[in-house]
Amino acid sequence: MTAEARLPWPPTDLDTRALPLEPVPRGTRWIRFYRAGKAPLRFGPQPGRPPTWRFDDPSGRYRVLYLGQSDAAAFAETFLRELRLPIIAKQDLAKYRRAMVELQSEVRLVRFYGPYLTPLGATAEVTHCPGSLYQLPRAWSRSLWGHPEQPDGILYTARHDETVLCIALFDRAAGALASNPVTGNLLDYPDVLGAVLRRYQVGLTE
């Protein structure tokens, strides 16, 4: 059996299994770090573009927006996956903005971590695999998106910090988000930056 065959692909009977759904109430706030010049609520990839990130749809039928439950989660998913040294330049941080997104209505997310993985037939490899194996989480994304319970997205742990939770939101839930999130240059939040830099022991240079 090849290594790829041993990976936890979605089981053929997933549609018959109850999903461990978490209802997230109206008024909940999530965080997104995004590149300046881009839309803060950009579901991707753009039509006609191939999938890029972990839970993007492999067939392009739907789009996905990535957020963090906290600033730490948003920082881990945005910066730690590419940070080779424990140091980051201010000029790199200046390329990003911070958006605080508030839910205008309830959404239901699949709890895709911890004890909820086994009943689904999944393992932490799905959310923690390297980019070369993204076909695995994309297959799960497609299967969960098409599940009869119609979840709004996936709640999962960050690859570089399994203690924080991130959200892959399907575009069917776009209407649940505030149309005008509170945004600002990332460097305009020194308390936020200081906290995440200390958490991950990352230095800051000019």
pLDDT tens string 78-98: 999 876 778 899 999 999 999
Nearest Cα neighbor of 140 from 162, 123, 157 is 123
pLDDT at 6: 80
Query: How many residues are given for the chain?
Result: 206
CA nearest 171: which of 43, 82, 24, 15?
43
CB burial of 52-75 (b: ≥16 within 10 Å; e: otherwise) equals ebbbbbeeeeebbbbbbbbbbbbb
Mean pLDDT of 115-125: 97
Distance, in Å, from the CA atom of 144 to the CA atom of 129, rounded to the nearest integer, reads: 18
Position 195 scores a pLDDT of: 96
Residue 107 has pLDDT above 90, yes or no: yes
How many helices (DSSP H) and strands (DSSP E) are in the chain? 6, 10
- Span 20-77, pLDDT tens digits: 999 999 999 999 999 999 999 999 998 889 999 999 999 999 999 999 999 999 999 9
Boundaries of every domain in the chain: 19-205
Q: How far is CA 44 from CA 41, 65, 66, 99, in A?
A: 10, 6, 9, 17
Instruction: Using pLDDT thresholds of 50, 70 and 90, give the confidence band for residue 206.
Output: confident
Residue range 155-196, pLDDT digits in tens: 999 999 999 999 999 999 999 999 889 999 999 999 999 999
pLDDT at position 5, please?
59
Backbone angles phi, psi at 193, to 5 degrees: -65, -45
Does the pLDDT at position 123 exceed 50? yes
H-assigned helices in the chain: 71-75, 90-93, 117-120, 125-128, 135-145, 190-199
Cis amide prior to 10 (ω within 30 degrees):
no
Using alpha carbons, select from 63, 68, 64 the residue that is nearest to residue 33.
68
| Per-residue confidence band for 1, with pLDDT thresholds at 50, 70 and 90 | very low
At 5, list the tokens.
């065959």
Are the CB atoms for 58 and 138 separated by under 8 Å? yes
Confidence band, pLDDT 50/70/90 cuts, at residue 4: low
